[in-house]
Homo-oligomer: A and B are copies of this chain.
Amino acid sequence: MQQIEFFFEFASTYSYLSVMRIESLLRDSKIQILWKPFLLGPIFKKQGWNDSPFNLFPAKGKYMWKDLQRRAKKYGIPFSIPSQFPRNGLLASRITIANLEKSWISTFIRETFQANFAKDLDIANPEVLRSILIGIGLDADPILENSGKQEVKDLLRKQTEKAFELGIFGAPSFIIGNELFWGDDRLKDAILELKRNLQ
């Protein structure tokens, strides 16, 4: 079984595109997705940034929203510019990392990204995440409670440190063996690399 390690951040606009595309791109393959939520905030801080570079560098930010609209349209992905950016993905990341083996995890990830980038809902608000969990048909309370445990917090902290050690500086990032691919633009290249390895 070949695997693609998919490092993503719930606040990240281009992670949204990859989250919405990756499963259909891997359909009919034997490639397994290893979902790797992490936080960009601590990584940006090490670069001296206390906000998203899209906010710190306005021309780049203005372009990013335009580009994202064009890309979403091209891929047929629902998108509307959120009224708040970036939104804190800490709680959503903790829920994800505590439930990686659950059959519903990819649905939760997709729904949460869509809440942020298609429905303009604040994913930092536990009530928004509760609604998503309930919508999937889950018992939300124990999942939310569990996500606040120290061991879950530690898991996410370690994954963010691991991302930094791997040379990851933005999201989405894909790891194939020892090769890093950065950006939704490189998702197809990452998959091609994996398929080459399979031959």
Contacts and interface: CB of A to CB of B under 8 A. Distances in A.
A185 B185 contact: yes
A75 interface: no
Contacts of A180: 63, 66
Interface residues of A, number: 20
Interface of A: 47, 57, 59-60, 62-63, 66-67, 70, 74, 167-170, 180-182, 185-186, 189
19 contacts: A47-B57, A57-B169, A59-B167, A59-B168, A59-B169, A60-B169, A60-B170, A62-B167, A63-B167, A63-B169, A63-B180, A63-B182, A66-B180, A67-B181, A67-B182, A67-B186, A70-B189, A74-B189, A185-B185
Given A67-B186, A70-B189, 13 more contacts: A59-B167, A59-B168, A59-B169, A60-B169, A60-B170, A62-B167, A63-B169, A63-B180, A63-B182, A66-B180, A67-B182, A74-B189, A185-B185
